[in-house]
Chain A
Amino acid sequence: METTALVWILLFPLTGAAVLALGRNHLSPRLIGALGSLAVGASFAVALSALGAYRQAGAPLVQALFTWAKGSGFQVDFGLLGDPISLWWLLVVTGVGFLIHVYASEYMAEDPDVGRFFAKLNYFVFAMSLLVLADNFVGLLIGWANVGLASYLLIGFWNYKPEAAAAAKKAFLLNVIGEVGIILALVLMFMEFRSLAFADVFAGAAQADAGIVTAVGLLLLVGATAKSAQLPLFTWLPDAMQGPTPVSALMHAATMVTAGVYLMARAFPIYQASSAALAAVAWVGGLTALVGAVVATRQVDIKRVLAYSTMSQLGYMMLGAGVGAYTASLFHFFTHAFFKALLFLGAGMVAHYLHGEQDIRRMGGLGKRLPFAYWTFLIGVLAIAGAPPFAGFFSKDEILGAVLAQGHVALWLIGVLVAGLTAYYMVRLFALVFAGEPAEEHGEGHESGLAMKLPVAILALLSTVSGLIAIPGVTAVPAQFLEPAFLAYGYHVPHGGIGWPVAVVLAAAAAGALLAVRAFGPRGAGRQELLATAGSPLRGALANAFYIDDVYQKGIGGLVVGTSYVVGNGLEPHVIDGLVNGVAGGVRRIAQGLGRLHGGYVRRYTLVLFAGVAVFMIYFLLI
């Protein structure tokens, strides 16, 4: 159905970003926070009305905007598409984004650059909305690149901190690797389908050349691994914690990192046409889930634990997409947005109270002092650990059930293991931060105000109840809502059953939680051991994420620096300069030789002249 409303979802945050960027030095912090929140809130309202319009019409909303490029025999139109997948995403992006904006209006109120912060935050929401609203791959790529830029700006928000600047640079570089993958995929796609509109590409995917479709799928996966922090391009995500906490929450819950999952779900006809690419997605997701969870167990920074848990949960989503269970994957995205935003905002409240302290070894006993943060964080932990009836339980089990139903036993076992590890590291985190006695005295901090508590309370509520929209056998809102988008290209999304596998997952999670309580509870042995910071090689490897980042820094970075050194000190002065100087010198020497002929003596010129004539005469007369 044609509509003109969708573009407003983009225009509100974009206008907000522009107004705040221009007025950042003139508006009061309160007004800046209110305007920034209002822009995203308006966007959310439009998204809700678009949802209503979609349900009324029963057909995807479309809005043609303009022609992006036109040439002989091809045309790229730029339009917006409001089908179930993009509406699903938009509601989370703008909804959770709105709550985070409200939270940030208090959290960042005392920062001198609050105007710049909200301008960037609004721009981030705009970029992500563009990514999910575009009806063609060009628009998706533009949104994708803008999200990368926005993340760069926000991770490096405190640009006077060298670590923040380095983290921002790293995030940008790794994301550009992904963008190159997507651009290459687009080139192949255009060669095969002569179009970049979703409708044309997806309609032709099943009949297209199998090799090209596989290549497109794998290249898109490269983009998704970079954006969604999957193996092996995940190293920017833990460092991205250098940004302010609301940025982490926005990035991990609503925008940015879920873009890779969106791409996998959006481009599903390509993956359904290539089983190899689909299997690659599943294995990347499964292994990332495992690595993220394992590494999270040894982190000591509250935000880094959450960052690796995001990586692990995104692995679940990719795993779900990789077995074709897109509705389960998207459902997990939905619930994860709530509880991960909740956890990050909770961590923000803790850090706010402790004047920026983020090392969990120096925390402890905060439960008594921050009862609100205690209870809401507990809900987040229960949700991510998969305790029924919290949200994570239903969505995680839906993915794992589908994995098993599709016959991927090895991946299912990995998923169960990750469920246990997730419960372990989350309970460990919770125990170290909130339980027991304070490890250090921090002095009296102040508790958060209403603007921070209200969004957290709403997210806690959603983390508790949002799973109930998909109780197996009772309700199936995500499946019913999302299915038309997949049926449009003739794909029936598989679902997992319930039964003993759920019990296995629950048992694994319970075991993980119990182990964590034993080790890190108020009287656990792990607490003292952690403070002693004794390190075996294995623990060091886990704490440093298997040194993958060091391999990149020293390996690839060293290679680049070494090559630059050779080029700069060997190739450039000797070979290239030598070539240029050699040519110039040769010309000069030849010119000097020729110049000697030009002596200035008329008699000599005459002699040469006559000698020449004589030679010709001899030639003509004698030969």
Chain B
Amino acid sequence: MIGDMVQAYLALSGILFVIGAAGLMLRRSPLVMLMCVEIMLNAANLAFVAFARHLGNMEGHIFTFLVITVAAAEVAIGLAIIVLLFRERDAADVDDVNTLRG
């Protein structure tokens, strides 16, 4: 094995993060936006794990579990909101959901 390929993992993590961020900003479907957030979280996870292996300690792994837990909670709440949103107004576009504007 040539090293631990940390640069490659980090590059992949960066690409994933940018894809997620771009999707979040550009797409209008709430479901897709939620998935983009997941991609970004997993990009962060990948970076954590890559660094943990590279540096040879466990903090990164532990932190990844924490992120996965938070992500699970976030998905649960996010999906619940989306379901309610669909029931309430049939909206497939987040731009229509702007009742809370100032």
Contacts and interface: CB of A to CB of B under 8 A. Distances in A.
Contact of B94 (A598, A602, A607, A610): A602
B52 to A, nearest CB: 22
Contacts of B95: 601-603
Interface string B19-58: 0010011101000010000000000000000000000000
Given A607-B25, A610-B21, A610-B25, A602 B33 contact: yes
B102 interface: yes
A598 B101 contact: yes
A442 to B, nearest CB: 87
B98 A601 contact: yes
B101 A603 contact: no
A603 B25 contact: yes
B70 to A, nearest CB: 17
Contacts of A610: 21, 25
B98 A600 contact: yes
Contacts of B28: 603
Contacts of B21: 606, 610
A505 to B, nearest CB: 93
A600 to B, nearest CB: 3
Interface residues of B, number: 14
B98 A606 contact: no
A587 interface: no
Interface string B59-102: 00000000000000000000000000000000000110111111
A597 B102 contact: yes
A602 B28 CA distance: 9
Contacts of A586: none
A595 B97 CA distance: 17
A328 to B, nearest CB: 87
Nearest to A596: B102
A356 interface: no
A603 B33 CA distance: 10
Contacts of A599: 98, 101-102
Contact of A598 (B26, B33, B97, B102): B102
Contacts of A603: 24-26, 28, 94-95
Contacts of A598: 100-102
Contacts of A601: 94-95, 98, 101
A34 B95 CA distance: 94
A454 to B, nearest CB: 90
Contacts of B25: 603, 606-607, 610
Given A602-B33, A603-B25, A594 B98 contact: no
Nearest to B27: A603
A295 to B, nearest CB: 76
Contact of B102 (A594, A602, A606): A594
A600 B99 contact: yes
Contacts of A602: 33, 94-95, 97
Given A606-B24, A607-B25, A600 B33 contact: no
Nearest to B37: A606
A591 B35 CA distance: 35
Give the interface centre of A599, A603, A610 by most chain B CB atoms within 10 Å: A603
Contacts of A594: 102
A600 B24 contact: no
Given A606-B24, A607-B25, A595 B33 contact: no
A599 B26 CA distance: 17
Contacts of A600: 97-102
B99 to A, nearest CB: 7
A594 B28 CA distance: 25
Contacts of A595: 102
Nearest to A603: B25
Contacts of B100: 598, 600
Contacts of B99: 600
Contacts of B94: 601-603
Contacts of B26: 603
A602 B98 CA distance: 8
Nearest to B30: A602
A598 B100 CA distance: 8
Give the interface centre of A597, A601, A607 by most chain B CB atoms within 10 Å: A601
Nearest to A613: B21
A477 B98 CA distance: 102
A594 B95 CA distance: 20
Interface in A565-604: 594-603
A181 B64 CA distance: 83
Nearest to A604: B25
B58 to A, nearest CB: 26
Nearest to A602: B94
The 8 closest A-B pairs by CB, nearest first: A600-B98, A600-B101, A598-B102, A595-B102, A602-B94, A606-B25, A606-B24, A599-B101
16 contacts: A597-B102, A598-B100, A598-B101, A598-B102, A599-B101, A600-B98, A600-B100, A600-B102, A601-B98, A602-B94, A603-B26, A603-B28, A603-B94, A603-B95, A606-B24, A610-B25
Interface of B: 21, 24-26, 28, 33, 94-95, 97-102
Interface of A: 594-603, 606-607, 610
